[in-house]
Chain A
Amino acid sequence: MIDLIIFLALLALGYGFGRYAELKHYRSIIQREKELRDIPAVATKFPPLTKAVDVALVSGSVVISVDYFKRFVAGLRNLIGGRVTAYESLLDRARREAILRMKEEARAFGGHIIFNIKLETSSIHKGRKNGVGAVEVMAYGTVLIKPRKIS
């Protein structure tokens, strides 16, 4: 009986806080994506060979954990198969956050475009019930920095 109460409490906590955290995170992602739209990130490997520019490697990474409620829902989904929307939003958030952090670093360098962006995802296993505990996403690329004009 006590086990059941603890389980339900965890579910409720996970649902409440998880939902709140996700909404807040998405709001911040959308806001920052708007601010950083002037630095495009492209997957092309070959930059235009025009003038000499400075380059620098930039990267951003984030580890995001899934909440208790979503893990439970995903566990249920495992029984019948199909789309696991609980994890889809987790990965989407992680990828967008990693790209944003990379762009923030690029801005700190004074860059204007990022080439050859690569995304790397790895799951950090907690070892329990072989579920996805948390995912790490890393985004990296090369930023081109225009030489300063002498004015």
Chain B
Amino acid sequence: MLVTNIEIIPGKRITKHLGLVQGSSVRAKHLGRDIMAGLKNIFGGELKGYTELLQESREEAMERMIQQAEAVGANAVLNVRFSTSSVAAGAAELFAYGTAVVLE
């Protein structure tokens, strides 16, 4: 499965458009990380726990998007976008979407 955020792949032709595919994942932070983050809020600096957490959930969102693309018979997802929104206090939604296509 080829995943990219450009619309044209050099040297490859799109034979079929299969529409939008999407995947999302909602995650809450856990307490241990929150305590560390509280400390970091005094000293400043990178919150590694959060970086990892968001990275993981983004990968999961992408995984779900790819599963959907496979289900409709695509072999590539073009023009992928990511978006983040906070649903409730302490939980964030990571969302990935793109166009499923068949490349020759």
Bound together? yes
Residues of A within 8 A of B44 (CB): 14, 17-18, 21-22, 64-68, 70
Q: Are A13 and B43 in contact (CB under 8 A)?
A: yes
B80 at the interface (CB under 8 A from A): yes
Q: Are B41 and A133 in contact (CB under 8 A)?
A: yes
Binds A, one of B17-25, B51-59, B67-75: B51-59
B35 at the interface (CB under 8 A from A): no
For the A-B complex, the count of residue pairs with Cβ-Cβ distances under 8 Å equals 131
B26 at the interface (CB under 8 A from A): no
B28 at the interface (CB under 8 A from A): no
Q: Are B37 and A134 in contact (CB under 8 A)?
A: yes
Report the count of interface residues on A (CB-CB < 8 A): 49
- Per the 8 Å Cβ criterion, residues 73-118 of A in contact with B are 97, 115-116, 118
B8 at the interface (CB under 8 A from A): yes
Within the complex, the shortest CB–CB distance from A96 to chain B, in Å, comes to 13
Q: Are B6 and A55 in contact (CB under 8 A)?
A: yes
Q: Are B10 and A144 in contact (CB under 8 A)?
A: yes
B89 at the interface (CB under 8 A from A): yes
Q: Are B40 and A65 in contact (CB under 8 A)?
A: yes
Q: Are A48 and B6 in contact (CB under 8 A)?
A: no
Tell which of A17, A62, A70, A126 touches B46, judged by Cβ atoms closer than 8 Å. A62
Q: Are A65 and B41 in contact (CB under 8 A)?
A: yes
Known: A51-B11, A64-B46. A46 touches B6 (CB 8 A): yes
Q: Which B residues are closer than 8 A to A by beta carbons? A: 2-12, 37, 40-47, 50-51, 54-55, 58, 80-86, 89-90, 92
